[in-house]
Structure 1
Amino acid sequence: MTQSVLQSIAAAELPERGQELAGGIFVTRYWLNGQERALLLMPDEFEGAWGEYGAKIDGAGSYSDGEANTRAMAEAGSQIAIKALELGAFIPSCLEGQLLMVAKADGLVNLREDGWHWLSSQRSAGSAYSMGFEDGWLNYGFRKGNEFLVRPVRSLMIQ
């Protein structure tokens, strides 16, 4: 049996930032593709390679749309993308990763600081973006075949 995942929420029903919502922690409101959304940090964490070094994945180059990137990654066989989608979540984009860092700096969420986290935004055939949550460094110099942490997120449309 598949679990039903909340897809949208009324603005009046949003909790304060840092509070539980739909199985995660409400991070912030943001705009994506002309739609206001609520970003949630999920409790799951795992590790793996972004994908195959040297293979450019069409559709995984968005700086802002982590869900679209993650779906493109999964279609190309990325195991971390497949796992995130199975959780009803996705790998954050560069923008979404930076929003997580703001929430961490504001004391609203806890993120591991002892390693790099993959983001879903592809830089090139050889590399993708990653973020260090100790200090908020955004990096694109790591090879896609390296294994890093993944902290999935979910995004709800705000009505």
Structure 2
Amino acid sequence: MNQAPSIKTKNLHVNFNFFAPEAPQAVVSQFAAGLADLMPEMKPTPPAIGEYWPGQGGIYGGLRLYPEGMCHVIFAASDVGKHTFSDYGTEIEGTNQIEGRANTAILIAREGKHPAAIAAAGYSADGHNDFYLPASGELHHGYLYLPQAFEKAWYVSSSQRSADYAYLMDFEDGWLYIFPKNDECLVRPVRRFLQ
């Protein structure tokens, strides 16, 4: 006996008529839960580290642990110019060396000039507008896993050292330095999302 060939598909379209009296909300919810059990979890498959991830806005930087869990790290495919961290002599409370998204939010929420954070947060690609200025630890991650994606130059981070200095990453030698906040360095936006 011959069997019909099986067909595998990634798209499933289901229409619900929520206004039909014979389909109360409990029945629809039960059906949706059963359908979810039948379908495998669909997670995006990342490319190799250092390659552009179509639809994700940039170059794949691998996985990194954040407060919300393990995240895919995506660096913009190009720099957004040279910018200063902020005014020299400006103390900013709450920035750290790990979490650039929180740092960028702090910098942008403050009154004052924070050109590097503004440039990074204003970047968008592939429909994503959740980019931010990376912390020094995130730039170091970029240096370790995809140095070829960066210029052999200095990149500003969102991590403050003091009222006068912030951290930068030297992509030529791999050193983390401090520099005056009013000096211009390259800016490379980054984004992340849960694994």
SS of the counterpart of 1:40? strand
For structure 1, the residue ranges without an aligned partner over 5 or more in a row are 1-9
Match of 2:4 in 1: none
Higher strand residue share: 1
1:77-125 CA deviation, whole Å, 9 max, x = no partner? 41221121111311111111111001235xxx42111x31101111111
Corresponding residue pairs, total: 143
Match of 2:49 in 1: 17
**Which of the numbers 137, 145, 150 marks the counterpart of 1:95?**
137
Question: Does 1:78 find its partner at 2:97?
Answer: no
Question: Does 1:36 find its partner at 2:74?
Answer: no
Match of 1:59 in 2: 94
Measured in 2, the distance between the counterparts of 1:43 and 1:54 equals 32
Match of 1:148 in 2: 185
User: CA-atom RMSD, angstroms?
Assistant: 1.6
Measured in 2, the distance between the counterparts of 1:12 and 1:43 equals 19
* Contact 1:28 1:99 survives alignment (8 Å): no
Question: Does 1:112 find its partner at 2:151?
Answer: yes
**Which of the numbers 155, 160, 164 marks the counterpart of 1:126?**
164
Where relative contact order (Cα < 8 A, 6+ residues apart) is larger, the structure is: 1
* Contact 1:118 1:149 survives alignment (8 Å): yes
TM-score, scaled relative to structure 2: 0.68
Displacement after TM superposition at 1:18 (Å): 2.0
Measured in 1, the distance between the counterparts of 2:43 and 2:86 equals 37
For structure 2, the residue ranges without an aligned partner over 5 or more in a row are 1-41, 124-128
Identity of matched residues, %: 30
1:134-154 CA deviation, whole Å, 9 max, x = no partner? 1111001x1101111111111
Measured in 2, the distance between the counterparts of 1:71 and 1:65 equals 10
TM-score, scaled relative to structure 1: 0.82
2:187 maps to a residue whose letter is: V
Measured in 2, the distance between the counterparts of 1:15 and 1:72 equals 32
